[in-house]
């Protein structure tokens, strides 16, 4: 890449960054002695930083977002064409891309019916929580209002979504949190909590135990990631989801699936829950919806839920009294329509399954070679390798070593991720989520870099 256009200005950019930018999720102290990373260009699977380094991005923009890759002119054009027509009107009125994307999205989600636009994954989850609470008031006099969430899952950075946050380190020092959120155990079989054969069912039964303890007439909803993302790429054990669905039915509990990471192709189906044949009441999504070309998130629900909020003229409060100002931006759905077209026309779901299998095979081969890999997990192009100091005891490796592996991959020109200081003692999983356009060569380069990094850090 020729970055000469930027070279005169780049020291000014870095200076401005140091002086005024507050980066997300990182400690700034190191920037007193080293430069912050500034990404100035992206094309396909690769980005270039201000220093001219070319980097293969194995994490789709850092946080599982750029599903169709960088530099998509057709998405930029779709957004441009829409913005010069009309950029915004509050979503109490409709828009052409807003309506069309809603229709296209629902076509991919049999059983679902209504799309509510918001700006971020956190906000989409908040909308679902608000609806769940309102349903509790409308139907159960406010009693069936508790929302269950799972240990190690993450649903956002706002106070209510953190109240449903299963990653303790992220929550520390931000309480007190919102009442009425109750934790259920995680389902990671590698770190067994029950010594049984049918682990999936047992882990789901643990949810039922919490429901019975709390009182089924107080529990309104269960909110889960289909595959836990930042909590360590936790793929559900066999039988888990089927049992979860049964439990929800049995106790009349709404099922809210957080597809903010898994949604829009990441796991090789349009949505992660579709692997397991379950029927959610709420599905939230964000990152891959427009691959980061515009900010858009959606809360999707059923016609049954939608109908609860209309047709009751005796109650003036009986509608969803909520707005998201930028949920009325037209750039988001315009980008999302084109993003979806690309996934379909380029066969990216099929590619995701194929390349996901290759990633898993490569990781399994690395596990044979490196005793530090205790477990590999994944679904589609969403894979993880958990690092342990001892395979017998499964003691996690020191987090600094995990960061050293990430840094060493970076030095080889490959950006990988890791569970991010959110699980005390368990920040030990390397995370891979390349764009859905990844080729076999890309995958081999990514796992090749991990191979070398593990050798360097652990020998
Ligand atoms: N839900 C999940 C599973 C996530 O991983 C995230 C963010 O990483 C969120 C929700 C929050 O999304 P946002 O950062 O867009 O608010």
Lowest-confidence segment of 152-161, 252-261, 302-311 by average pLDDT:
302-311
Distance 338 CA to ligand 1 centre (A): 22
Distance 260 CA to ligand 1 centre (A): 6
Nearest C-alpha to atom 10 of ligand 1 is from which residue?
155
Over residues 405-425, mean pLDDT: 88
Task: Write out the two tokens for 318.
Answer: 């009986």
Given CA atoms 63, 69, 71, 74 in this order, what sign does their dihedral have?
Answer: negative
Q: Which atom of ligand 1 is nearest to the CA of 156?
A: 11
Binding pocket residue ranges, ligand 1, CB within 6 Å: 63, 120-122, 125, 154-157, 225, 229-230, 258, 260-261, 286
Distance 36 CA to ligand 1 centre (A): 23
Query: Strand pairing partners for 255?
Result: 222
Residues constituting the chain: 459
Confidence of residue 422 (pLDDT cuts 50, 70, 90): low
Confidence of residue 8 (pLDDT cuts 50, 70, 90): low
Crossing angle of the two packed helices 440-458 and 399-411, in degrees rounded to 10? 130
Confidence of residue 26 (pLDDT cuts 50, 70, 90): confident
Task: Tell me: pLDDT of 424 over 70.
Answer: no
Nearest C-alpha to atom 7 of ligand 1 is from which residue?
156
Residues 6+ apart with CB under 8 A from 239: 198, 199, 200, 201, 204
Lowest-confidence segment of 307-321, 326-340, 358-372 by average pLDDT:
307-321
Helix (H) and strand (E) counts in the chain: 14, 16
168-207 per-residue burial string, b: 16 or more CB within 10 A, e: under 16: eebeeeeeeebebbbebbbbbbebeeeeeeebbbbbbbbb
Task: Write out the two tokens for 18.
Answer: 């140091």
pLDDT tens digits, 176-222:
999 999 999 999 999 999 999 999 999 999 999 999 999 999 999 99
From the number of C-beta atoms within 10 Å of its C-beta (0-12, 13-18, 19+), residue 440 rates as exposed
SS3 at position 263: coil
Task: Say what the pLDDT of residue 420 is.
Answer: 65
Distance 61 CA to ligand 1 centre (A): 14
Task: Say what the pLDDT of residue 389 is.
Answer: 95
Over residues 418-445, mean pLDDT: 89
Task: Say what the pLDDT of residue 3 is.
Answer: 46
Task: Say what the pLDDT of residue 406 is.
Answer: 97
Distance 155 CA to ligand 1 centre (A): 5
Q: Which atom of ligand 1 is nearest to the CA of 230?
A: 5
Task: Tell me: pLDDT of 4 over 50.
Answer: no
Distance 156 CA to ligand 1 centre (A): 5
- Write down the mean pLDDT value for the chain: 95
In the chain, the domains with their CATH numbers are: 4-68+347-458 (3.90.1150.10), 74-345 (3.40.640.10)
Of all residues in the chain, the percent with pLDDT exceeding 70 is: 97
Site to substitute for ligand 1 among 62, 119, 287, most atoms within 8 A of C-beta: 287
Model pTM greater than 0.90?
Answer: yes
Residues 6+ apart with CB under 8 A from 456: 408
Nearest C-alpha to atom 12 of ligand 1 is from which residue?
121
Please tell me the distance from the alpha carbon of residue 360 to that of residue 4, in angstroms, as a whole number: 39
The answer to whether the beta carbons of residues 17 and 36 sit under 8 Å apart is: yes
Short-list 329, 330, 343, CA closest to 291: 343
In this predicted model, which residue has the larger pLDDT, 412 or 426?
Answer: 412
pLDDT tens digits, 222-239:
999 999 999 999 999 999
Q: How many CA atoms lie within 13 A of 4 on its CB side?
A: 1
Q: Which atom of ligand 1 is nearest to the CA of 122?
A: 16
Distance 153 CA to ligand 1 centre (A): 10
Over residues 362-373, mean pLDDT: 98
Q: How many CA atoms lie within 13 A of 455 on its CB side?
A: 9
Q: Which atom of ligand 1 is nearest to the CA of 262?
A: 3
Please tell me the distance from the alpha carbon of residue 161 to that of residue 286, in angstroms, as a whole number: 15
């Amino acid at each position: 890449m020729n970055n000469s256009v930027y070279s005169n200005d780049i020291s000014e950019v870095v200076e401005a960054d140091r002086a005024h930018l507050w980066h997300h999720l990182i400690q700034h102290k190191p920037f007193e002695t080293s430069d912050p990373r500034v990404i100035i260009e992206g094309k396909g699977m690769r980005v270039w930083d201000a220093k001219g380094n070319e980097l293969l991005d194995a994490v789709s923009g850092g946080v599982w977002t750029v599903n169709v890759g960088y530099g998509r002119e057709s998405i930029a054009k779709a957004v441009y064409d829409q913005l010069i027509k009309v950029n915004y009107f509050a979503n109490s009125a409709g828009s052409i891309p807003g309506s069309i994307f809603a229709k296209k999205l629902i076509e991919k989600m049999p059983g679902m019916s209504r799309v509510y636009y918001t700006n971020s994954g956190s906000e989409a989850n908040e909308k679902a929580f608000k609806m769940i609470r309102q349903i509790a008031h409308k139907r159960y006099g406010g009693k069936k209002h508790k929302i269950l969430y799972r240990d190690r899952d993450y649903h956002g950075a706002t106070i209510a979504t953190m109240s449903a946050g299963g990653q303790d380190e992220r929550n520390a020092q931000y309480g007190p949190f919102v009442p009425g959120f109750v934790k259920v155990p995680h389902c990671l079989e590698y770190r067994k909590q029950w010594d049984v054969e049918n682990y999936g069912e047992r882990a789901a039964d643990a949810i039922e135990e919490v429901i019975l303890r709390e009182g089924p007439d107080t529990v309104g909803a269960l909110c889960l990631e289909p595959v836990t993302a930042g909590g360590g790429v936790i793929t559900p054990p066999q039988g888990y989801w089927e049992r979860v669905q049964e439990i929800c039915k049995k106790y009349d509990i709404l099922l809210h699936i957080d597809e903010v990471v898994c949604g829009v192709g990441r796991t090789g189906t349009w949505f992660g829950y579709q692997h397991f044949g379950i029927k959610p009441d709420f599905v939230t999504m964000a990152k891959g919806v427009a691959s980061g070309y515009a900010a858009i998130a959606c809360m999707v629900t059923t016609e049954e839920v939608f109908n609860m909020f209309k047709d009751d003229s005796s109650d003036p409060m009986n509608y969803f009294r909520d707005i998201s100002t930028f949920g009325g931006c037209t750039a988001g759905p315009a980008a999302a329509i084109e993003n979806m077209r690309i996934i379909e026309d380029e066969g990216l779901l099929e590619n995701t399954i194929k390349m996901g299998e290759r990633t898993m095979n490569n990781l399994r081969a690395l596990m044979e070679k490196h005793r530090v890999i205790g477990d590999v997990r994944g679904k589609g192009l969403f894979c993880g390798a958990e690092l342990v100091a001892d395979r017998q005891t499964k003691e996690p490796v020191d987090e600094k070593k995990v960061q050293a592996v990430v840094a060493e991959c970076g030095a080889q020109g490959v950006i990988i991720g890791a569970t991010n200081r959110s699980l005390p003692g368990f920040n030990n999983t390397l995370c891979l989520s390349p764009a859905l356009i990844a080729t076999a060569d890309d995958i081999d380069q990514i796992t090749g870099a991990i191979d070398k990094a593990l050798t360097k850090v652990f020998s």
